[in-house]
Structure formats: C-alpha cells, structure tokens
Amino acid sequence: MLQATPLTEGWILRHEGGALPAVVPGCVHTDLLAAEVIPDPFLGRNESEVAWVGRREWTYERDLAPVNGHEQTDLVLDGLDTVAEVLLDGQLLGRTRNMHRSYRFDVTGMSGRLAVRFVSAYAEAEAVRGKLGERPAAYAEPYQYLRKMACSFGWDWGPTLVTAGIWRPVRLEQWSTARIARVRPLVTVEQGAGVVELAVEVERARVEAPLSVEASVGGVRARAAIDGTTGTVRLEVPDARLWWPRGYGEQPLYEVELTLLHEGRPLDVWRRRVGFRTVELDRSADEHGTGFTFVLNGERLFARGVNWIPDDVFPSRITRERYRERLGQAADAGVDLVRIWGGGIYESEDFYDVCDELGLLVWQDFPFACAAYPEEQPLRGEVEAEARENVVRLMPHPSLVLWNGNNENLWGFRDWGWEVRLAGDSWGEGYYLGVLPRVVAELDPTRPYTAGSPWSGSWEHHPNDPAHGTHHSWEVWNRLDYAGYRDDVPRFVAEFGWQAPPAYATLARALPGEELAADSPGVLHHQKADDGNGKLRRGLERHFPFPEGDFDRWHYLTQVNQARAVAAGIEHWRSHWPVCAGTVVWQLNDCWPVTSWAAVDGDGREKPLYHELRRLYADRLLTVQEREGGLVLAAVNQAGDPWAGVLRLRRMSVEGVLIGEGEVGFAAERRAVARVDVPRELEPLGPKEFLVVDADGLRALHFPCPDRDIPYPRPEFDVSVAPGSVTVAARTLVRDLLLQADRLDPGARADRGLVTLLPGERVTIGVRGWETPDADAARSALYCLEPSR
C-alpha cells in the first residue's frame, strides 16, 4: 500500500547572512518574521522596509534519511513559489518555474541533504522579459512574465511583498507495483441517476503486473481492469439527491472511493466527495442582447456574488478554519457565488470543500489578470501544464460551476492601448480562446468555460459591452457618482465596487502610535488605489459636506457612502431580473489592513457594507426605483415560493410628520420581480420629505435629494445596554445609525450595520465580545447623520 510521510520538520532557511529555522509549508517572509529578522510588513510603513526580501536568493534545507521497504520512493512537492532548483545530496532532481503546479521526483534509494534553492522572482521575470520582449500591464511590476500569484507584486488594494518558499505540503510517497497517478471524475445526472465516471491513470513500477480498480459511491460498487496505464469505471446511483446552491435546497455530498488492486491486494486509494447537479450557462441572444445566466438543476439563478482575492498576501498562512470563517461570512451575508479572481491562485482543497458544504457556487478564474501575457516558451508549456493539473484536481467539487480564462485582459487589449504597443506580439489571446477552452473541453466537459471577464462572447461586440455577457462597471467609482449605476442594465455585473477604510480597530492596530487622519502617512500608505483618497473625497462631496480635519466623521461617512453606493447598484440591477442575471461585488475580503472595496477588512472585521449585503442579497428585497414616469416599488422575490401582500407607503417630513399614506397590493411569483407604481400623491417633493415603504418586516426608503441638501433634525435618541446588546430608542428621525462595536473593544462585533429609525422606533443591536456594558461608552461608539454644517 502506498505510504505517505509528511516532511514538515527539520527545515532551515539559508541566506547570505546565515541560517534560521523554517516552517514548511511557509514562505521566506513568515520565517524571517518569526525569527524577528524583519518587522511585521502589515504594520505602519514596514512594507517598504522589507522590499529587499523579494530581490534575494534563498535555500530551504533538511536531511532526508534513507527509506526502504518499497520499490519506488517519490519526493512530492505540492507547491513551490516559484523558480527553484531541487537537489538531493548535491544531485539536481529538477527545476521549477510555476507556483501553480505540483512536482514529483524519483528519489528511490537516495538520501542525504535535500535543498530547494529559490532565485528571486524579479530576476526570473526580468530574464523572461529580456528574452520575449516588453508587454503592457496595468502595473509596473513584471508579474506577467512568470507563473506566480500576480498580486504578490502589489495591487490597488495589496502590498508589494514578493514571496518565495515551499508554500504547500511536501512528502515522501513510497509504493510498489503501481500507484494512482490521476483520477478524472466526470459527475453527471442522467434520468434521475447520479453518474460518476472515473478515468484512471496509473504509474507502474512493474510493467506486466495485472491491475484493476474497484470503486464505490452511495452504496454502489463497480470494478474495471487497467489496460496498460489507463482504465475507466462507471457508477450509477439511482435516485441520487441533487446538490443545490445555498437558498435553493440542500447540499448532499457523496464519498467516492477508488482502490487500485493487484491480484486482490490494495496498492493505492483515492477518495473525494462529489455532489450530483447539472450546470449550464445560458448565453443565448434575445431582444436585450446576449445573456449570461447560470442554470443549476434546471433552475435559473440571479447570482448574488462576491469577488475573492487571496485572504492573506502570504497564502501559506490561510488555514481551513480561516477559510471556513471567511466563507461563512459570505454565506451569512446571502452570497451564493464566489468568484476567485485571476490575480491570485487556485485555492487549496479546503476552500472548495467549504464551498461544497455551504452551497457557495465557485467561479474560478485561471490566473491571468490585467496584463498582456507572452505566449512563447517557457510560459506556454507551463500554462497548459498548470491548467491540466488544476482542472482535474478541482473537478470533483460540485460548487465549481465556471472556468474563466482571465481577468480584464481582453478588455485591456481593446481599450487600454495595448494593441498599438504590442505591434503584433503575443498577449494571451491564444490562451483564452485556444489553449484553455481546449483543455477544459477535453478534461472537464461538464462545466462551462468563458474566455474572460468582462467578455461579450466574441469580438463582434466590445469586450465590456453591458448588453452582451459579463460587464465590469468601474467608470462609476473612478469618475462618476454612484447614481451612475442606474444608467444601464448589464446582463451580468461581474465587478463593481466602492472603497472605504477598514474598521477603526483594524487601522489602530496596523498604525500603532499614529494620530489617525484621512491623510496621515500610515493611512495613505495603506491606500494603494491610484488617487484613492481623492476618489473617496469626490464621492463624499456629492452627498455630504466634507468633514475637514475630523477623522472619526470621515471614517464613518466613507463607510456610509460605500454601503450606499453598492446598494444603489444591486437594488437597481436586481429590480431588472431576468435581464440582469447577477452581481458580483468587488470584493469580499482583504489580504492585509488597507482602505479598499472589501466588505470584510484585513483583520476579518465586517464593514457596514457587509451588513448591507445581508439586506441586498436576501431572498426578498424591497426597493424604490426612479423610472420614466415616476417612482416604482420593486418587490424582488428570489425565494422558491410566491410572495404576495400589502405595501404600506408613508410620505413623511424629516421632522417626523406624516404627510400622506396608503396601501397597495402586490404579488411576485417565485424567482420573479413585481413592480408597483407609487401613487403620485405619495411621491416626496423636495429635500424635506421622504418615502417609507413597509411589507412583511422589510423596508425601503427613498430620499429624493442628496444628504447635503436635506435639513436633518439634530438626532435625539436614548441608549440602554444589557449583556450582549445595545438598544437605541429614537425621538427624532435618526438616519444611518451605526454602532462601531470595535471602538468599545477591539474584539467586539455588532450583529448589524446601518439602520434608519423613525421617531418613536427602536432597535436592539446584538454585541458579542464586550464584557463590561456601559451606556455612555455605547453612546460614544454610535454614529449617525447630522445636520449639515
């Protein structure tokens, strides 16, 4: 039987200054940090102080004792970051140049000193650039010249911390006769039966030994012979329970076990969990353009998505527990789709396992982002090899529903001046329209592939045409007011977002000793977007007087504006289902403490946007929309049952006076939107009035003017506390009340974000992690909109 021995202990990291203990899996930065050779690059401006690390060469070493008892011994390295030589007792085993692949070397009968020597990623990238020529990119760093996590070279939300190291597990595998080299599971549903077809490849130590495989799933067993090095076994599970996305049904998972046998004796075992479901991507043309709608088990979905970046710039630190926490936050916010963005990595099995369990659909980018990528060697062979490995590795997961060729590169070629600069040089089109769809069609025909995001489906349309395929909406954040989201109805919004700083406690931890200000040195260093603070300011000034010199007010208002902006987009686009079939917010998470578009900051704290997503992505949503001819109330029903009832409408003054009221019936079919005209006499007029709509515990508000023009009364409210809660009772209109629980205690969390109270209303906010409730302290951590100054 194959025996695996992890190689986690006894490693040292050698560098020109000496040696220090190393942790494997890990990376150079984390080892240097543990040894106190470098300061924490996440704190202050230390990122700049450790830039030298990415320019050096590093060697990991440990002893490898002789092993016996099997015919073959392999050294297996699941991930090396990135360009390295692997040597055993001075003998070269092989060279690597791809972070996204695993490696296997025959070390039968060998022992001695194992060394993995890493050259600088900069040195390799610059050498490839010198050989293949300059290619344009969104950033100056040379990330497109090697197969490495692009965002380790920095991004508009991430630090430049160019890593090296053994970032995934290492082990010895000892085996005799034969081993399982690869299993490619095709999982389908045919006439109510769940079908698993396992294409098996084996590696032999004995050519003539007769081999067979035995497989089981859901109580069904089957056997097949291995012909040479390949074989196929098919299993059918009658009346298999379907796997559904969260909110649509349950997520039953079936364990598949396949055993390689020689004369009845087990040699190796492969185990995975699968789920039975069908997935289609409806890209058919209609009167609105070209659609992009996910269809799971025959059910058409409005995808409620978030974009995912690596949760740590040092991905070896991300544990299964951390994946579960972060993805659990996504699920709790109503998210049903997570897009793994192309400037990161193929995540570990733990990520996809958690998504399988939670019912989170996964859209997987191949790792290409915001650059022209050369298609010549040595890159071309690496691209195909990594695609083949990772497509097969991830195939068992029912959560995986889409392969996407790249992030923004087709758009960049057309709009960012690349075509002229390239002058005919390769730039990646051959990957996205050639290599990658061929690999997916050959290996994983059960899942759809799209060439890129954004992509209109062909060069007949602009790559980012909102009427065709996927659309990235960045003009609004970069240049316009967030009301610009309402100017069109894309078929699928794969990226859009608005920035805000992280939670106060996150900033305070990341910038120790600094007097916080919107433009203080540390705050500016932890703002990586081009003119990011300028865009934050201009976005605020369209709605609020800018709070000059008042950091606390700036911090609160920018977070309000982020939540308002994302709400403007999602409410508008959801109200246009089924023309618009999904929104994927940029972004769920951060990889360090930074001002960014994230809903959950780099310390894992939820911003107000996170809590707003819980409202926006709920099965049922009320929203007031401005349409030609007047106001329309949209009752969005993504639940599986019809929704009917009575809407209570109130036209009110900001002083709390009821001007008019009425009731209107509505009926929304399952997975549908009901639209009801707001009676003219109830439409608010001018800055002193607003509309309130209530139904079934849900509420929609409509203020017809920017906040800077609204004469809000000075907010008056009473505060009471109890263990685990803060209650606020309003005596006036209290708009966008927010309890910043982390100001009470860095470990405290509130269970809700922004809330607007009418006079006489109250709200109880759950708080965990606050051990000494105090009403005065709670009041000091409460923020809301105030009269314009």
- Positions annotated as catalytic residues are 408
- What's phi and psi for 120, nearest 5 deg? -60, 135
Integer angstrom CA distances of residue 702 from 223, 346, 682, 690, 709: 64, 42, 11, 6, 14
User: d(Cα 117, Cα 52) in Å, to the nearest integer?
Assistant: 17
Cα–Cα distance for residue pair 788/555, rounded to 1 Å: 17
Tell how far CA 239 is from the center of its chain. 34
Token pair in block for residue 459: 């060069």
Residue with tokens 């710039």: 313
Check if the beta carbon of residue 1 is closer than 8 Å to that of residue 260: no
Exposure string over 44-80, b if 16+ CB within 10 A, otherwise e: beebeebeebbebebbbbbebeebeebebbbbbbbbb
Q: What is the rounded CA–CA span in Å between residue 587 and residue 340?
A: 10
Of all helices (H) and strands (E), which one includes residue 268? strand 265-274
Measure Cα distances from 94 to 7, 104, 116, 569, 726 in Å: 18, 9, 10, 51, 61
Rounded-to-integer distance, Cα 452 and Cα 635, Å: 33
CA angle (613 as vertex; 698, 476 as ends), nearest 5: 115
Q: What is the 3-state secondary structure (H, E, C) of 456-470?
A: CCCCCCCCCCCCECE
In the block, residue with structure tokens 């208002």? 557
Q: How far apart are CA 282 and CA 30, in angstroms?
A: 45
Cα–Cα dist 461/490, whole Å = 14
- In sequence order, the 6+-apart residues with CB closer than 8 A to the CB of 567 are 612, 615, 616
Q: Which of 467, 474, 430 is nearest to 452 (CA)?
A: 430
> Kindly report the CA angle at 463 between 462 and 468, in degrees rounded to 5?
80
DSSP string, 41-83: TTSTTHHHHTGGGGGS-EEEEEEE----SSSEEEEEES-EESE
DSSP string covering 377-439 = TTHHHHHHHHHHHHHHHHTT-TTEEEEE--BSHHHHHHHSSHHHHHTT---SHHIIIIIHHHH
> Among residues 704, 761, 763, which one has the least CA distance to residue 738?
763
The strand ranges marked E within 140-229 are 165-166, 170-175, 178-190, 193-204, 212-217, 220-225
Contacts of 151 (CB under 8 A, 6+ apart): 143, 158, 309, 310, 313, 343, 344, 369, 591
Q: ∠ CA 58-24-166 to the nearest 5 degrees?
A: 50
Q: One-letter amino acid identity for 681?
A: E
Is cis: bond before 593, omega within 30 of 0? Answer: no
Residue 13's beta-bridge partner residues? 20, 60
* CA–CA distance, 310 with 616 (Å, rounded to integer): 24
| Of the candidates 101, 92, 86, the residue with the CA atom closest to the CA atom of residue 168 | 101
| DSSP letter, residue 373 | P
- Counting Cβ atoms within 10 Å, is residue 300 exposed (0-12), middle (13-18) or buried (19+)? middle
SS3 662: strand
